[in-house]
Structure formats: C-alpha cells, structure tokens
Amino acid sequence: MIDPSQPENPNSRCGFVAIVGRPNVGKSTLLNHILGQKLSITSRKPQTTRHQVLGIQTRGDVQAIYVDTPGMHEEEPRALNRYMNRAASSALKDVDVVVFVVDQTHWTTADDMVLRKLENVKAPIILAVNKVDKVENRDSLLPHLAELAKKYDFAEIIPLSALRGQNLAPLEEAVDRLLPVSIHFYPDDQLTDRSQRFLASEIVREKITRQLGAELPYSVAVEIEEFKQEGMVLHIAALILVEREGQKKIIIGDKGERIRRIGQEARIDMEKLFDSKIMLRLWVKVKKGWADSDRALKSLGMDDF
C-alpha cells in the first residue's frame, strides 16, 4: 500500500488549496489565471460561481489542487444561497492551504463573516488582496495591509491583480512552500475533476449572466441533455431553466436574437475548451420555484453537501 506521505521523490508535494471569500472579489478569475486556462466562469455579477470546481496545477514536483468556491453569503434566505454556503464551507474541510481573497482596500462585514468561518481552520491562510491595480491612492495600500495583518495571523499577505495576472508568482510560491510532502493525486496533465458536460453547462450559464446582467436574477440553471461526439462534431443540447415566463422571454429576446447570441458566444468558448467543432442547441423552460426548493436543487445535481 502506497503511503502518500512517503513518496519516492522526496521533493514531491501535493495538497488541496481552498480559494474563499465573499461574492465578487475575483476568486474564479484568480483560479483561471493561475491555471493559465479558463475553468471557472466569471462575470461582474456577484454569486456567479455556485459549485466547487477543482483546478489542478502541476509544476514540476508540486501539484496544487485549487478549489474555487462560491462566495459566502451573510444571509441564506433561499435554498440556492444555502447550497452555495455549504459548498464554500465544505471546501475548508481537510484542506492544506486556504487563500482568502479580499477586494483591494474595501474590507466589509461580509469579509468579517468569512474570517470568522476561517478561525477554526487548521490550515495556514494566505490573504490575497486582489484588484490592487485599481487602487487610486497607492500610498493608502501599505497602511491598509498593515491593518489587515492585525486581523489574523496570516501565513502571507500578498497584494495582486488576478485580472491582469500581476504578482501571482509570489502567491503560487507561497502555496508551494505550504503544501505537504506527498505523491501527486492526479495525473500531471489533468486540469480538473469536473466532467465536460459540467463545463459546457457552466459556459452557457456564464454567457447568460454576462449578457443579461441586472435584467435577470440568479434563478437560472442549465442542464446538458445531450453531449455526443459524431465524427469531427460535438453535439451539445442545453436546457435553460428559469422561474417565470417573463424570464424566459428575456433570455429568448426579440425574435430569438438574444438566445442566438448566447449560443454563438458559448460555442466559441466550447470549441476552444473541447478542441472540436460544436453544434449547440439551446432552449428555455420555466420551472417555478427551483431556486427556493432543496428538492429541485437536488434534481439539478446541487446536492453534493
């Protein structure tokens, strides 16, 4: 029996790294830039991420398994919000390193709430201060970092810009140092634990979120009903679920113009990700109350936690 703590290569390191924080601080953008490939969906709308997504980065002897989590909510009025909080909290169990992402000089009560959840975590916590490229008064940054250092005994405090890929190397190097000696858990060329069907559904949801912004609430889900390779073409059929008839009309748009644009943009990303020509079909269905129903969430595969 292999003992992962005693690898043949004494320099081999591997472990799980949870990326946590309140909604819309750039967790998914950070993961995508670390991996050098788009894996987690992003938008300017908070709470875009709903699921835990593993992103596997292998660099030489070190394999860091990043867990991108939904933003933690201060309130849990809906079943969907409760699910996302459970997904985020469960990522903290048995991880080796935590990367706590905050937004430049904006510390909020939601950040306090996340920090309280981290107090019982045994793993070292790196504070990643994101979006520092947007700080207008650079002289205010150092005093702010000093104040953050008083809030918790962080292993490191690293200012960076996930969107611009600035100062990510110190973060990755800090993670590498903190990971335990271990064999690698995944093949060195594997990028994620998620299926291609899951990634396809997330791409469609991202395009909906980006196109509609404030026009549509969070009550949109995507189910992949067909995922089949035929020769050089990958055929994908996706069902978009909304809660009300009015939301269906918004997604379809005037004479179907909007849903066509959603499909076009999703297809471009899918062809890059799956390295195949894509035939994508989309349609919209009303499923009332799914975001408030634990049973409906379970039927959509959101019952991991």
pLDDT digits (tens, 9 = 90+) for 185-223: 999 999 988 889 988 998 998 899 888 866 665 568 889
- What gap in Å lies between CA 278 and CA 270, rounded to an integer? 7
Q: Is 21 annotated as a binding residue?
A: yes
Query: Is position 246 annotated in a ligand binding site?
Result: no
pLDDT of residue 99: 96
pTM above 0.75, yes or no: no
Does residue 99 have a known ligand-binding role?
A: no
Q: Is 281 annotated in some ligand binding site?
A: no
Strands in 26-176 per DSSP E: 53-59, 62-68, 97-103, 125-130, 156-159
- Per the annotation, does 132 bind a ligand? yes
**Model pLDDT, residue 194:** 84
Check whether 193 is labelled as a binding-site residue.
no
CA distances from 100 to 49, 97, 124, 127, 191 (A): 16, 10, 10, 5, 22
42's enclosing H/E stretch is none
CA 297 to chain centre: 18
The answer to the question of whether 45 is labelled as a binding residue is no
Q: Which residues of the chain have pLDDT under 50?
A: 1, 43, 45-49, 73-74, 79-80, 83-85, 295-297, 299-300, 304-305
